[in-house]
Each structure stands twice: as structure tokens, then as C-alpha cells.
């Protein structure tokens, strides 16, 4: 879809409308590649399709890695803002996400600042690498611009929010989330895999843990590096 503004210059603030969601990108935040995807409506297209497939009215949603708040907004519109908990590590994105949620009437979303890891002690922090253009920022990367961010334990989030849907794009940190079963009424999960950060054994562990929790591969959600799972419904269990 075409942007609402007439300029695609990433040095200027630009507004876009994708799938009925209004997004504002502040000056200097996005690379030309991101601007191009926003202009053509392909920004986070696979993630948006996953949210449309997975999020049902009344479902609680846990989103790890909010970006500009696009998928966050879609999820909030599908269920209700108060049912969505979103976590973002990059501090520069927090006011952008909040503003984009507000302009789409989704002020009730809970937005947390921090990097999610498999385990974290209270008050623990870690160095977070900020990449050019914000996509690709992650824990553990060397060099470049580094900021200290709070660490948030994944399983503590799961127990506190008890999501029906988990959406995640955390640049490889997902490898640490599958050491044990998740204590929540999980119905759908969609994640972007990062095979450059880990090998096939980690992907197998992800699939095996999901299977042990009664989840199966979802071909509708899965696409390229997006891996989707859905609950296996018993004959006496209604979706």
C-alpha cells in the first residue's frame, strides 16, 4: 500500500497505512530498505498474517519484539488492547510504539521495556546491540552501539500473563525459551527462526518441546523463517 505522505526519504518523518493500521516513523529511525517495505505494504507481512491467523477475540497475547508496534496493533484490534502484553528491548522504539498504538486506538496495551531471556534475576541487566535501522538488534552481538537494558525472564512472563498466543521475533533469543513446558493455556505460537544464531539441534529442541506441549506444526502460519504451531484439539475439545 502507498504511504500517506508524499516522501519516502528516511531522513524525514513519514506516515504509512498498512492493513488499516496507521504507522508513523520518526526522522532517521528507518533505513531505506525498511521505508521501501512500509511503502509497498510488505513490512512484517508474514508476522501480520500470523497475527491474523492466531489471535481470536478474548485471547491473551504475548508479543516479544514489537518493532514499530504494527503487529502489536493488529493483535490488539483482533482481541482487545488490555489482552496484549508486548516487550521491546530497544529504548528508542518505546515512544514510537506507544504513539502508533495511540493513533490506532490501542492505548490499553501493556508495553514493557526489556530483553527477554530464558532466565533472569530480579534487577538483572544486559548489554543490547542496537543495529542500524532497528531491525536485527539483539542480545549478545559484539561491537556497534550498545545499551544496557533490563532482562526479563521468559517463563516468569508466561506465568504472569498466561497467553493463548505467543508471537516472537527476538533475533535468536528464542533458543533459550524451550528448556521446559510453558505454564499457560497456549493455543497458537508463531516465531521467526534465526538459524545463523543456532544450529539444527536447537530447531529440533523447539519442535520437540512444542510437540510435548500438545502443539503441532501450523502450515497456514509458517512461511520461510516464520515457524507456526497450533494446539492439537482432542475429539472432545472445542476450539
pLDDT in tens, 105-151: 999 999 999 999 998 999 999 998 888 777 777 777 776 788 999 99
**What is the residue-averaged pLDDT of the chain?**
89
Beta strands in 65-187 (DSSP E): 84-88, 110-113, 115-117, 125-130, 138-139, 145-153, 165-168
pLDDT in tens, 21-32: 999 998 888 888
pLDDT (average), residues 79-101: 96
Cα four-point dihedral sign 138, 139, 145, 148: positive
pLDDT (average), residues 57-61: 98
Given this model, what pLDDT does residue 143 score? 67
β-pairing verdict for 14-18 and 21-25: antiparallel
H or E, element range at 76: helix 70-78
Q: Where are the domains of the chain?
A: 14-231
Q: Is 237 a residue whose pLDDT tops 60?
A: no
Superfamily for the 14-231 domain: Vaccinia Virus protein VP39 (3.40.50.150)
| pLDDT confidence band for 18 (50 / 70 / 90) | very high
pLDDT (average), residues 38-43: 94
Percent of the chain clearing pLDDT 70 (strictly above): 92
- CA–CA separation, 40 vs 102, rounded Å? 23
Burial zone of 176 (CB within 10 Å; 0-12 exposed, 13-18 middle, 19+ buried): middle
> How far apart, in Å, are the Cα atoms of 218 and each of 42, 170, 181, 191, 210?
22, 20, 19, 12, 11
pLDDT in tens, 205-216: 999 999 999 999
Q: Is 236 a residue whose pLDDT tops 70?
A: no
Report the alpha-carbon angle 217-233-73, nearest 5: 65
Given this model, what pLDDT does residue 74 score? 98
Which residues are CB-contacts of 138 (< 8 A; sequence separation ≥ 6)? 128, 129, 131, 170, 171, 172, 173, 197
- CA–CA separation, 170 vs 1, rounded Å? 26
| pLDDT confidence band for 196 (50 / 70 / 90) | confident
Given this model, what pLDDT does residue 160 score? 96
Q: Tell me if residue 127 falls in helix, strand or coil.
A: strand
Given this model, what pLDDT does residue 10 score? 42
Question: What does pTM read for this prediction?
Answer: 0.90
For the packed helices 70-78 and 45-54, what is the interaxial angle rounded to 10 degrees? Answer: 20
Amino acid at each position: 500500500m502507498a504511504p500517506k505522505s508524499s516522501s519516502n526519504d528516511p531522513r524525514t518523518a513519514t506516515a504509512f497505512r498498512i492493513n488499516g493500521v496507521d504507522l508513523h516513523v520518526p526522522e532517521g529511525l528507518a533505513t531505506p530498505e525498511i521505508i521501501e517495505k512500509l511503502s509497498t505494504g510488505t513490512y512484517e507481512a508474514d508476522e501480520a498474517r500470523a497475527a491474523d491467523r492466531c489471535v481470536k477475540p478474548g485471547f491473551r497475547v504475548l508479543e516479544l519484539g514489537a518493532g514499530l508496534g504494527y503487529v502489536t496493533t493488529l493483535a490488539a484490534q483482533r482481541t482487545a488492547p488490555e489482552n496484549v502484553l508486548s516487550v521491546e528491548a530497544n529504548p528508542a522504539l518505546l515512544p514510537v510504539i506507544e504513539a502508533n498504538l495511540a493513533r490506532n486506538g490501542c492505548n490499553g496495551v501493556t508495553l514493557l521495556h526489556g530483553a527477554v531471556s530464558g532466565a533472569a534475576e530480579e534487577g538483572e541487566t544486559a548489554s543490547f546491540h542496537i543495529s542500524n535501522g532497528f531491525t536485527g538488534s539483539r542480545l549478545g552481538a559484539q561491537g556497534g552501539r550498545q545499551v544496557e537494558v533490563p532482562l526479563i525472564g521468559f517463563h516468569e512472563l508466561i506465568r504472569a500473563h498466561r497467553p493463548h498466543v505467543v508471537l516472537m521475533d527476538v533475533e535468536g533469543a528464542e533458543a533459550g525459551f524451550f528448556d521446559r513446558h510453558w505454564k499457560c493455556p497456549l493455543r497458537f505460537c508463531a516465531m521467526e527462526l534465526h538459524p545463523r544464531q543456532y544450529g539444527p539441534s536447537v530447531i529440533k529442541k523447539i519442535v520437540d518441546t512444542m510437540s510435548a506441549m500438545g502443539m503441532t506444526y501450523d502450515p497456514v502460519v509458517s512461511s520461510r523463517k516464520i515457524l507456526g504451531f497450533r494446539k492439537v484439539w482432542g475429539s472432545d475439545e472445542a476450539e
